[in-house]
């Protein structure tokens, strides 16, 4: 570039405002505002820190104002403010556009009052009177709600207290002696010898009897079917009804078979945490508050919903045939589900249609407000509920949830859990379709009921327990074989039951990395958790053992032994030869010996042979004496008759 060109460029730059200036410098005076070409690191740092502080303060203010919530879609989805038109769907329709389809299971929740004529002896006289019983038939809850929010953690040792024999109410304990005929009021029975001149009236004619005998003889001796005569008589037994004697009459009768309904389940899977919808049909006129309370609404929620519905749905009762759709979602404050949305529908019998009456939904502020109707569906005939696999509660929580839904007192629920806890893992998740049946006496003047029968159906297995009292004045619950549900050894002998970390069998050792037999089960728990004696016995080993650390071995009766390893410490006052009782504390969880963390290593040996503590069949703690077998069989037949009876027509209680 020539000098002339340089001068021309310099003139142009000067004309546009550019000029030569000194270089930038950091030599500014501390504490003063920098001027011109001066830079101040102190002022630069202050500006950056001010910006960061402002961002943090604004973020904290927003977090507090939204109460820690990190998602804000509840109100939009619950209220359905704006949505595209969609065709009518059924609850089990798998064609809907969705990536998280949940299976649908049928639910049952029946609390019925049944009446029977009971025979009892009062002051030497036989009295027959009508007595009501309460029967519950329900599927186990598949979602935890506020009903089970305050249930204490599962503790196997508490089972021992809940399953102690009941004191007998009377000489016959709870009377279930069902009389064959129905009576009105109270009837006194007097037994007298039948006169020799008495001739009972004929129930059938001679012609009918002759035809019946001829048919039996021909079928037995002249039939081509090679069936022995005894088998032929058995096969022809039902034909007695051909004589005109109806079943259930005074001459012939029987006990109806108790048929269990298997809920239909749509096969699908969904492991994501989320919501589930429950659809209910009201069977008879029922207060709205009662239905909501039985389905996981707290008293505070019910009052808020009543206030919200006051202008659009002023009725405090739901008519027979009314429908409810309840959408549940995870609570922010507890490990349970809370109602996000409630929709009420009335049923028109004339047109067989369901009309939407009102919808309330939970907002992000925890308030219930009016909302638009959810997407239309075709209501099923039976009650249904979406199953979110991740939300399935443990068997322990599910029994609590179901029991409280049907107004069982806590002591009764604890006894029911205790009766089955020896054979079942109460920490396992409940499965859709699992069900429970209960028979109780009607509440007395002090609103107390006595438990008579419990049946628990898990998968394809049904366990039944009947109440029976012996002459020693105690009443207990026995299965059809005359055995109690209690075992003389508990399978998880530590507070809370622990968490199963390693099962019995061959495995790769976590320390030595070699494949070897794991001789027991490892139940993880925090250090210091109490360890209990699995059963009554005598301590035979009480010191350190290589690999096991602090170890205790207990000798039980009939060749049974149990061992407890990796204890942090022993209980003072115990040693070799000490007698211990089931549930007595013998030590505390630790990680002594060859261990990777605090846990209890628990073993069971039978005649010196190691067995799987979780699956081995253990002997029952109490067996009904042989002299009571016939009386117990009669009690079972009477209870089965009560379970098979139709409910009283005016006393059926709706528990949905």
In sequence order, which residues have a C-beta less than 8 Å from that of residue 195 and are 6 or more positions away? none
Q: What's the pLDDT band for 277 if we cut at 50, 70, 90?
A: confident
Highest mean pLDDT among 39-48, 117-126, 129-138, 614-623: 129-138
Q: Are 277 and 327 in contact (CB under 8 A)?
A: yes
The continuous run of DSSP H or E covering 72 comes out as none
Q: What's the pLDDT band for 568 if we cut at 50, 70, 90?
A: very high
Q: What is the mean pLDDT of residues 259-268?
A: 38
Residue bearing the bigger pLDDT, 514 or 274: 514
CA distance 291 to 545: 59
Question: CA dihedral defined by 224, 230, 231, 234, rounded to 10 degrees?
Answer: 120
- CA-to-CA separations, 204 to 193, 236, 239, 244, 250, in angstroms, rounded: 25, 18, 14, 7, 14
Nearest to 427 by CA among 140, 158, 142, 153: 153
CA distance 11 to 37: 23
Q: What is the pLDDT of residue 73?
A: 45
**pLDDT (tens digit, 9 = 90+) per residue, 514-536?**
888 888 999 999 999 999 998 88
**Strands of 556-649, DSSP E:** 560-570, 579-580, 585-589, 599-606, 609-611
**pLDDT (tens digit, 9 = 90+) per residue, 326-349?**
998 888 777 788 889 999 999 888
CA distance 214 to 227: 18
Query: What does pTM read for this prediction?
Result: 0.61
Other beta carbons less than 10 A from residue 629's beta carbon: 12
**pLDDT (tens digit, 9 = 90+) per residue, 293-308?**
888 888 899 999 999 9
Q: What is the mean pLDDT of residues 626-630?
A: 86
Q: What is the pLDDT of residue 230?
A: 42
DSSP state of 542: E
**Average pLDDT over the chain, rounded to whole?**
77
Other beta carbons less than 10 A from residue 652's beta carbon: 16
CA distance 416 to 430: 16
Give the percent of the chain with pLDDT over 90.
18
Q: What's the pLDDT band for 540 if we cut at 50, 70, 90?
A: very high
Q: Taking 70 as the threshold, does the pLDDT of residue 284 lie above it?
A: yes
Q: What is the pLDDT of residue 228?
A: 44
Residue 51 phi, psi dihedral angles, 5° rounding = -65, -45
Q: What's the pLDDT band for 260 if we cut at 50, 70, 90?
A: very low
Other beta carbons less than 10 A from residue 121's beta carbon: 13
Q: What is the pLDDT of residue 254?
A: 40
In sequence order, which residues have a C-beta less than 8 Å from that of residue 1 and are 6 or more positions away? 9
Q: What is the pLDDT of residue 375?
A: 87
């Amino acid at each position: 570039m020539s000098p002339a060109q340089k001068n021309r460029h310099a003139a142009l730059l000067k004309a546009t405002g550019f000029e030569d200036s000194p270089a930038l410098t950091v030599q500014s005076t501390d504490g003063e505002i920098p001027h011109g070409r001066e830079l101040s690191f102190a002022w630069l740092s202050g500006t950056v820190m001010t910006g960061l502080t402002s961002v943090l303060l604004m973020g904290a203010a927003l977090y507090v104002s939204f109460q820690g919530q990190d998602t804000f879609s509840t109100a939009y989805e619950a209220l359905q403010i704006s949505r595209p038109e969609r065709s009518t769907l059924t609850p089990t329709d798998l064609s809907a556009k969705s990536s998280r389809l949940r299976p649908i299971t049928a639910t049952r929740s029946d609390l019925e009052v049944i009446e029977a004529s009971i025979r009892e002896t009062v002051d030497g006289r036989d009295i027959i009177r009508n007595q009501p019983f309460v029967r519950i038939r329900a599927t186990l809850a598949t979602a935890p709600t506020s009903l089970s929010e305050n249930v204490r953690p599962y503790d196997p040792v508490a089972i021992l207290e809940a399953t102690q024999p009941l004191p007998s109410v009377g000489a016959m304990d709870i009377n279930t002696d069902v009389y064959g005929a129905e009576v009105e009021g109270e009837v006194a029975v007097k037994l007298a010898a039948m006169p020799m001149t008495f001739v009972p009236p004929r129930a059938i004619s001679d012609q009918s009897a002759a035809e019946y005998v001829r048919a039996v003889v021909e079928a037995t001796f002249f039939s081509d079917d090679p069936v022995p005569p005894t088998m032929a008589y058995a096969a022809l037994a039902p034909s007695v009804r051909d004589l005109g004697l109806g079943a259930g009459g005074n001459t012939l009768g029987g006990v109806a078979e108790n048929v269990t309904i298997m809920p239909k389940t749509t096969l699908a899977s969904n492991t994501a945490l989320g919501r589930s919808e429950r659809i209910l049909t009201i069977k008879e006129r029922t207060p709205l508050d009662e239905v909501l309370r039985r389905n996981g609404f707290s008293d505070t929620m019910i009052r808020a919903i009543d206030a919200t519905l006051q202008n659009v749905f002023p009725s405090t009762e739901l008519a027979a045939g009314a429908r409810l759709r309840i959408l549940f979602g995870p609570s922010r404050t507890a490990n349970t589900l809370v109602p996000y949305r409630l929709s009420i529908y009335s049923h028109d019998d004339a047109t067989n249609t369901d009309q939407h009456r009102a919808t309330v939904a939970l907002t992000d502020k925890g308030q219930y407000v009016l909302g638009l109707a959810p997407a239309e569906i075709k209501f099923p005939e039976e009650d249904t509920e979406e199953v979110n696999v991740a939300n399935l509660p443990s068997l322990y929580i599910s029994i609590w949830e179901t029991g409280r839904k049907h107004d069982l007192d806590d002591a009764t629920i604890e006894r029911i859990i205790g009766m089955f806890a020896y054979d079942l893992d109460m920490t396992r998740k409940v499965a859709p379709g699992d069900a429970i049946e209960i028979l109780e006496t009607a509440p007395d003047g002090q609103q107390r009921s006595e438990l008579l029968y419990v049946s628990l159906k898990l998968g394809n297995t049904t366990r039944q327990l009947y109440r029976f009292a012996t002459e020693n004045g105690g009443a207990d619950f026995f299965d059809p074989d005359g055995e109690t549900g209690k075992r003389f050894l508990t399978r998880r002998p530590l507070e809370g039951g622990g968490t199963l970390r390693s099962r019995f069998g061959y495995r790769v050792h976590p320390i030595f990395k070699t494949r070897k037999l794991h001789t027991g089960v490892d139940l993880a728990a925090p250090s210091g958790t109490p360890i209990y004696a699995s059963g009554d016995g005598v301590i035979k080993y009480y010191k350190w053992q290589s690999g096991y650390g602090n170890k205790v071995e207990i000798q039980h009766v009939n060749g049974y032994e149990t061992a407890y390893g990796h204890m942090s410490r022993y209980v003072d006052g115990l040693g070799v030869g000490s007698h211990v009782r089931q549930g007595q504390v013998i030590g505390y969880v630790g990680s002594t010996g060859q261990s990777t963390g605090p846990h209890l290593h628990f073993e069971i040996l039978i005649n010196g042979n190691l067995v799987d503590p979780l699956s081995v069949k253990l002997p029952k703690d109490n067996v009904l004496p042989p002299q009571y077998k016939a009386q117990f069989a009669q009690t079972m037949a009477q209870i089965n008759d009560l379970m098979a009876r139709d409910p009283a027509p005016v006393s059926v209680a709706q528990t949905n």
